[in-house]
Amino acid sequence: MATGRVTTPQPCEAAFFDLDNTLVRGASLFYFARGLHARGFFSRRELRRFARRALHYAVRGEVHGHLLEARDLALAFVAGHTTEEIRAIGEEVYEEHMGAKVRPAARALADRHLREGAPVWLVTAAPVELADVVARRLGLTGALGTVAESVDGTYTGRLVTEPLHGPAKAEAVRGLAVAAGWDLARCAAYSDSANDLPLLSLVGRPVAVNPDAALRRHARRHGWEVREFRRWRHAARWTVRAGAAGAVGAAALGLAGLVRRAA
């Protein structure tokens, strides 16, 4: 179902897609955490710690602290492991959890851009290793994601740059556009979250896909196109503060559910 101002997608120079709840139902970090937990990367106690701290920040709406805490814990889990190992797990996580969660309608939009000759990039705060897998499996042009530092093929537990979230995501897309020579006024972007307003405001064709309440209000005020692919609309209360917690908050709540099931 589509709502709001809907037009037939016009050819554009490039298109940028968010991952969580845009191309894929749910939070990719949750799926990745399930894969790591199943392979013994961290204990049930550590999983509880991750979920408890992430939820602490999500409930209070302290987005910056929440992101830093979730980031540091996630980095600690992969420190000392090889990039080859984590990429292999990313492939398995896609097979086990994510492939069946791809939204057909969102994929159809991406495929249409590709058929019209426009590059399609996945842009997400998820680890770039997982983002690369999803982009390749869906036949997209490429992926931008959060990059963890590695030395001689082994993760150090630090990031190369800040998480690809909010303004950082928009800046990464701007840099990609400059390098490729694209006019962002002739590009499209798709996201479900108000956290991606910097990205959506950057392009000439912003599209709100399954938007949270804050993004839906913004889209209506500015006459942006809204695409609703969920079978039913539901309030974003389960993310506590939909416009603030975003994808990482959703992942934290998903992890809490995993802890309850594992207990």
- Express each pLDDT in 235-252 by its tens digit: 344 333 333 344 444 444
Catalytic residue among 20, 132, 192, 196: 20
Going 15 to 90 to 145 to 195, the CA torsion angle's sign is positive
Name all domains of the chain by residue range, CATH numbers in brackets: 2-262 (3.40.50.1000)
Active site residue 192: no
Distance between CA atoms of residues 251 and 138, nearest Å:
22
Q: Is the pLDDT of residue 258 over 90?
A: no
Q: Is the pLDDT of residue 230 over 90?
A: no
Task: Specify the pairing of strand 148-151 against strand 154-159.
Answer: antiparallel
Stretch among 111-120, 153-162, 163-172 having the lowest mean pLDDT: 153-162
pLDDT of residue 63: 47
Going 36 to 25 to 73 to 16, the CA torsion angle's sign is positive
pLDDT of residue 39: 85
Burial class (CB in 10 A: 0-12, 13-18, 19+), 237: exposed
Q: What is the pLDDT of residues 93-125, one digit of tens each?
A: 999 989 999 999 999 999 999 999 999 999 998
Q: Is the pLDDT of residue 254 over 60?
A: no
Q: What is the pLDDT of residues 35-74, one digit of tens each?
A: 887 888 777 776 666 555 555 544 443 444 545 555 666 6
Amino acid at 41: F
Distance between CA atoms of residues 208 and 257, nearest Å:
27
Specify the 3-state DSSP secondary structure of 42.
Answer: coil
- Give backbone dihedrals phi and psi of 79, rounded to 5 degrees, phi first: -55, 135
- Sequence-ordered alpha helix ranges (H) in 63-144: 63-78, 83-93, 104-115, 128-137
pLDDT of residue 132: 95
Active site residue 212: no
Catalytic residue among 18, 192, 196, 212: 18
